[in-house]
């Protein structure tokens, strides 16, 4: 059933073709408001404000509901959305806008029957949407009048213009005067000019504008057939223009600026955006549009001739020509589009001397001088987002099944996207898969060319910018193009250039051949990287030296004890002065290092990967870790480096433990142990035994864990430190707190002796746990306070999480529940970055315990169940048993004794099977 509501005049309602009468004023006001928003939700607050602009009745909300019900009974469809309402109906306002958008101006104006909602009270007729609709009617009427007058249909222009009540609108009266004179009503036209001048002087105290005076002079000269000079030089709007909504909105916002510079890399669509926006904004520049490519000759002279200056009247002197240009633009509202500006000197002669006109500039350079000195605003245009690049290819006729891959191969660059779409259209019999293969496997830049139009090629667009660079910037561009990974910093640029690179980086960034990102880093567009690699050889050896030197220095700074002795230190290391700087460098360069390891020669690849094992133990990015450990093992085996393979197995075992694939981890560690013993490599044996001791403990095989820990204790003092840490953990789980305390105490002393902060902090946290569980809260707090001695060193994230959990429990026992919650949530935040369910389950268990102790038992149960799911999936038997006991306690507090007993029984079953005797006391 069709529903139509008219608002362009008195309110009208038609349902299924029949007119419907609604008499009540409030209901009509409500319907008028909903119709102005048709298809959109109107909040209840806005409805009440419009219906009762003065005193609001107490029952206003109920009254609104009643009005809606009566309108629905009249046949209207009004949806309740939240607390607001949405009218589902066709409106004449929608029809008007649709026709106007298609430039069907006469049909659009025919939708109007009078002022918006003419028969409703002032508060509805003055609504911003009603005012905006009236403004759109005015704009369309003026546009229609211009077309009608230029085509000699003066009477039609008079008819439409006289329907508007705009007594002080000079543009309307200028057109009406010309239309009256053109239709033979010379006296009426002159009287109109006299009347509008009187009103302007009497009511506003101003003389008529240049536009109105010019129209008056035309009528006096009876020069109606030739309209005032109004250039319309914008090139045709771009076919298939899509997206860029944010940029278009930004240009709308900057419309009143004296100049706007659209800057961006070659081929990014600067001109297309400028032209498209220019067409969209024409109504705001009623005096016309000028457009020129600044690579052309005598642009200023061409503009002057377009503004009506005869060729013989164009000054030969550039300054005089610019002055005349400013004079002609004075008081006018014009759009001046300057394409392909290379520097500020090209643009400044075109800046108007008065406000009203806009100079819109496109440039591959930022033109910062215009911003600083001339008040210009800047819009930096980037490649299309993925969705918009897909939309563009679809609009250009590319089949759906090829859009995603073609967009990626074109790196979402508009010029490349349009070229590949044109190439597809030019070769309709070539299979889509073949076209994609040419881009993927062939010379991609060569494929992104238009046959017979070399200037439209992507490579040609890039070359234009590259050729403007000085020698050092050009050399740096060629070098940087070979860096793998998504971005790079100034340090590697200077290293490759063998001299300070900051100035050249700024030159490249200003030319949009590289893009600045956060943290003082830069990135390459994929196609620019390909272009740069065509221009010169790879500096791969020097780049690899930079990677190896920095990695060695960072490793020595952050985890010296874990430095792979089998990796030779390069002769030119880059020294880090403090641990946080080394860690920040690793965080920033991780993607580049991963990409480098993936491409490096075998002999180097496994060494770089070995140096990153310690980093991944601090920040375990499991996807990247998987990539490099797989590459490391393949590389070490390819060059038959046994110790390199052992290091790779150590790293793989660590990764699998983090992924809770414990049995696989134990297999890799056992293989590393056997290979280490076969080759007599004690360092490899120590690492493997440590992994086996803690790995077997995690899966509940405590006897095997102790066996490997005892081997460690017997090896050397470092082995003793690691072995006693494992023995302390197992002893605590077995309920032997005395042995656990002794083991952790010795471990702490050895960790301080060997400068192992992570081991020291973990030992202090474990000792604090033992004392807290025994009721000695003061001693537990004292032990945790000692950890502050190690805050100047970046701790491994698992250790940070463990420490925060223990702080949370300490404050919980002290009754400081809010502080406890803060520590627990901080621990969860860190654990979530680890990609390790075992640590996440432990932190959620802590949060559950904190909630239980503060009396929020239902919230505690929710966290416990999340923790239990992670612990079970990760095979963490001790954690699983503890969580079941926590659940039992929370359920008991809620008097759910049946479920509490079930969880207690399950915890006891696990403890009995694994020998977790320490849990019996808790149960």
Query: Per-residue pLDDT averaged across 219-236, rounded?
Result: 75
pLDDT tens profile 576-594: 888 888 888 999 999 999 9
pLDDT tens profile 174-205: 999 999 988 888 888 889 999 989 998 888 88
CA distance 610 to 624: 13
Averaging pLDDT over each range in 447-456, 506-515, 790-799, which range is the top one?
A: 506-515
Q: What pLDDT is recorded for position 451?
A: 64
Is-contact 637 652, C-beta < 8 A? no
Query: Per-residue pLDDT averaged across 400-423, rounded?
Result: 86
Percent of the chain with pLDDT over 70: 96
Query: Per-residue pLDDT averaged across 595-609, rounded?
Result: 94
pLDDT tens profile 513-565: 998 888 889 998 888 888 899 898 888 888 999 999 899 888 888 877 667 76
Q: What pLDDT is recorded for position 691?
A: 94
E strand or H helix at 376: none
CA distance 300 to 318: 8
CA distance 167 to 681: 97
Range 388-392 contact pairs with CB under 8 angstroms and sequence separation of 24 or more? 388/242, 388/243, 388/244, 388/412, 389/414, 389/417, 391/242, 391/243, 392/240, 392/242, 392/243, 392/417, 392/418
Mean pLDDT of the chain: 88
227: confidence class by pLDDT, cuts 50, 70, 90: very low
Judging by DSSP bridges, how do beta strands 515-516 and 3-6 pair with one another?
Answer: unpaired
CA distance 134 to 117: 11
Q: At what angle do helices 777-786 and 757-773 cross, to 10 degrees?
A: 170
155: confidence class by pLDDT, cuts 50, 70, 90: confident
Is-contact 140 98, C-beta < 8 A? no
Is-contact 41 86, C-beta < 8 A? yes
Q: In terms of pTM, does the model score above 0.75?
A: no
pLDDT tens profile 711-769: 999 999 989 999 999 999 999 988 899 999 999 999 999 999 988 898 999 999 999 99
Q: What pLDDT is recorded for position 578?
A: 84
Query: Per-residue pLDDT averaged across 600-614, rounded?
Result: 92
Residue with tokens 């009406």: 176
- Residue 42: DSSP 8-state: B
Is-contact 476 501, C-beta < 8 A? yes
pLDDT tens profile 449-476: 766 555 567 888 888 888 889 999 999 9
pLDDT tens profile 813-847: 999 999 999 999 999 888 887 767 777 899 999 99
Is-contact 48 64, C-beta < 8 A? yes
CA distance 837 to 875: 10
247: confidence class by pLDDT, cuts 50, 70, 90: very high
pLDDT of 709 above 80: yes
437: confidence class by pLDDT, cuts 50, 70, 90: confident
Structure tokens of 391?
A: 């939309």
Q: What pLDDT is recorded for position 920?
A: 56
111: confidence class by pLDDT, cuts 50, 70, 90: very high
Q: For residue 262, give the nearest of 328, 194, 186, 359 by alpha carbon.
A: 359
pLDDT of 923 above 60: no
pLDDT tens profile 48-95: 999 998 888 888 888 998 899 899 988 999 988 888 899 999 999 999
pLDDT tens profile 649-698: 999 999 998 887 888 999 999 999 999 999 999 989 999 999 999 999 98
Residue with tokens 């973990």: 762
CA distance 670 to 661: 15
Query: Per-residue pLDDT averaged across 788-807, rounded?
Result: 86
Q: For residue 340, give the nearest of 365, 323, 320, 315 by alpha carbon.
A: 365
916: confidence class by pLDDT, cuts 50, 70, 90: confident
Q: What pLDDT is recorded for position 572?
A: 60
Q: Rounded to 5 degrees, what are φ and ψ at 496?
A: -70, -35
Q: Rounded to 5 degrees, what are φ and ψ at 128?
A: -50, -35
Is-contact 52 38, C-beta < 8 A? no
Query: Per-residue pLDDT averaged across 270-282, rounded?
Result: 92
Residue with tokens 């039609």: 156
Q: What pLDDT is recorded for position 226?
A: 46
CA distance 238 to 665: 58
Alpha-carbon torsion, ordered 308, 312, 313, 318, to 10 deg? 110
Structure tokens of 197?
A: 């001048």
Q: What stretches of 265-311 adopt beta strand conformation (E)?
A: 289-293
Q: Cα-atom radius of gyration of the chain, to the nearest Å?
A: 38
Residue with tokens 């302007």: 200
pLDDT tens profile 612-623: 988 887 777 888
What are the angstrom distances between the C-alpha of 754 and each of 720, 726, 765, 902? 12, 18, 19, 47
Query: Per-residue pLDDT averaged across 282-292, rounded?
Result: 90
């Amino acid at each position: 059933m069709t529903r139509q509501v008219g608002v362009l005049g008195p309110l009208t309602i038609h349902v299924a073709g029949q007119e419907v009468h609604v008499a009540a004023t409030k209901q009509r006001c409500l319907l008028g408001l909903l119709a102005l928003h048709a298809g959109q939700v109107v909040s209840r607050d806005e409805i009440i404000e419009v219906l009762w602009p003065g005193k609001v009745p107490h029952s206003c909300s109920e009254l609104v509901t009643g009005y809606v019900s009566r309108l629905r009974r009249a046949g209207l469809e009004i949806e309740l959305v939240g607390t607001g309402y949405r009218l589902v109906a066709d409106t004449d306002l929608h029809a008007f806008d649709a026709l106007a958008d298609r430039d069907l101006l006469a049909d659009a104006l025919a939708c109007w029957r009078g002022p918006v909602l003419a028969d409703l009270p002032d508060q509805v007729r003055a609504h911003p949407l009603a005012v905006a609709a009236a403004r759109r009617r005015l704009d369309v009427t003026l546009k229609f009048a211009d077309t009608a007058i230029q085509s000699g249909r003066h009477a039609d222009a008079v008819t439409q213009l006289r329907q508007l009540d705009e007594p002080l609108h000079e543009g309307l009266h200028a057109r009406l005067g010309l239309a009256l004179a053109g239709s033979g009503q010379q006296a009426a036209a002159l009287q109109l000019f006299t009347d509008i001048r009187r009103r302007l002087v009497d009511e506003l105290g101003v003389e008529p504008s240049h536009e109105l005076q010019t129209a008056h002079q035309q009528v006096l000269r009876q020069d109606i057939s030739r309209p005032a000079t109004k250039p319309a030089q914008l090139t045709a709007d771009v076919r298939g223009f899509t997206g860029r909504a944010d940029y278009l909105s930004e240009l709308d916002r900057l419309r009143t600026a004296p100049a706007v510079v659209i800057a961006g890399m070659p081929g990014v669509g600067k001109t297309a955006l400028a032209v498209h926006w220019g067409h969209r904004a024409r109504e705001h520049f009623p005096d016309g549009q000028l457009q020129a490519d600044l690579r052309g000759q005598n642009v200023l002279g061409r503009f002057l001739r377009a503004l009506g200056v005869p060729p013989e009247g164009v000054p030969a002197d550039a300054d005089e020509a610019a002055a005349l240009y400013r004079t002609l633009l004075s008081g006018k509202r014009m759009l001046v589009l300057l394409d392909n500006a290379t520097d500020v000197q090209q643009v400044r002669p075109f800046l108007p001397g008065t406000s009203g006109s806009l100079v819109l500039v496109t440039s591959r350079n930022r033109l910062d001088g215009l911003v600083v000195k001339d008040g210009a605003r800047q819009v930096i245009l980037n490649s299309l987002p993925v969705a918009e690049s897909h939309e563009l290819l679809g609009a250009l006729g590319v089949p759906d099944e090829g859009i995603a891959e073609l967009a990626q191969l074109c790196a979402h660059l508009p010029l490349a996207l349009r070229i590949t779409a044109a190439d597809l259209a030019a070769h309709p019999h070539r299979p889509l898969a073949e076209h994609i293969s040419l881009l993927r496997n062939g010379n991609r830049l060569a494929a992104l060319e238009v046959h017979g139009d070399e200037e439209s090629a992507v490579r040609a667009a890039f070359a234009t910018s590259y050729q403007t660079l000085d020698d050092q910037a050009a050399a740096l561009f060629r070098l940087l193009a070979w860096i793998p990974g998504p971005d790079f910093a100034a340090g590697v640029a200077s290293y490759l250039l063998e001299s300070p690179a900051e100035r050249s980086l700024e030159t490249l960034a200003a030319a949009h051949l590289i893009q600045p990102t956060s943290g003082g880093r830069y990135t390459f567009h994929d196609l620019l990287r390909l272009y740069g690699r065509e221009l010169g050889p790879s500096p791969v050896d020097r780049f690899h030296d930079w990677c190896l030197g920095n990695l060695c220095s960072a490793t020595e700074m952050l985890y010296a004890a874990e430095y792979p002795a089998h990796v030779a230190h390069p002769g030119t290391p880059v020294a880090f002065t403090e641990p946080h700087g080394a860690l920040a460098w690793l965080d920033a360069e991780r993607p580049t290092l991963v990409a480098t390891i993936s491409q490096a020669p075998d002999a180097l690849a496994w060494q770089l990967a070995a140096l990153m094992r310690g980093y991944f133990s601090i920040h375990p990015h499991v996807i990247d870790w998987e990539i490099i450990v797989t590459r490391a093992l393949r590389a070490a085996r390819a060059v038959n480096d046994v110790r390199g393979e052992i290091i790779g197995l150590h790293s793989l075992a660590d990764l699998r433990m983090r992924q809770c694939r414990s049995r696989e981890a134990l297999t890799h560690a056992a293989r590393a142990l056997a290979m280490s013993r076969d080759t007599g490599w004690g360092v490899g044996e120590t690492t493997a035994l440590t992994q086996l001791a803690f790995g077997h403990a995690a899966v509940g095989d405590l006897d095997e864990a102790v066996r490997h820990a005892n081997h460690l204790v017997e090896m050397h003092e470092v082995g003793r430190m690691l072995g006693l840490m494992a023995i302390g953990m197992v002893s605590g789980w077995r309920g032997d707190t005395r042995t656990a305390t002794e083991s952790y105490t010795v471990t702490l002393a050895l960790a301080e002796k060997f400068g192992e902060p992570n081991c020291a902090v973990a030992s202090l946290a474990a000792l604090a746990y033992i004392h807290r569980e025994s009721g000695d809260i003061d001693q537990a707090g004292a032990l945790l306070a000692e950890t502050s001695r190690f805050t100047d060193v970046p701790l491994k994230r698992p250790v940070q999480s463990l420490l925060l959990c223990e702080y949370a429990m300490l404050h919980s026992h002290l009754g400081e529940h809010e502080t406890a919650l803060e520590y627990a949530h901080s621990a969860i935040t860190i654990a979530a970055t680890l990609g390790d369910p075992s640590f996440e389950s432990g932190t959620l268990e802590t949060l559950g315990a904190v909630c239980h102790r503060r009396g929020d038992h239902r919230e505690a149960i929710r966290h416990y169940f999340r923790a239990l799911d992670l612990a079970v999936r990760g095979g963490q038997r001790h954690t699983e048993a503890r969580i079941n006991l926590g659940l039992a306690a929370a359920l008991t507090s809620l008097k759910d004794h049946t479920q509490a007993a079930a969880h207690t029984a399950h915890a006891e079953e696990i403890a009995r099977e694994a020998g977790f005797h320490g849990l019996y006391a808790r149960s």
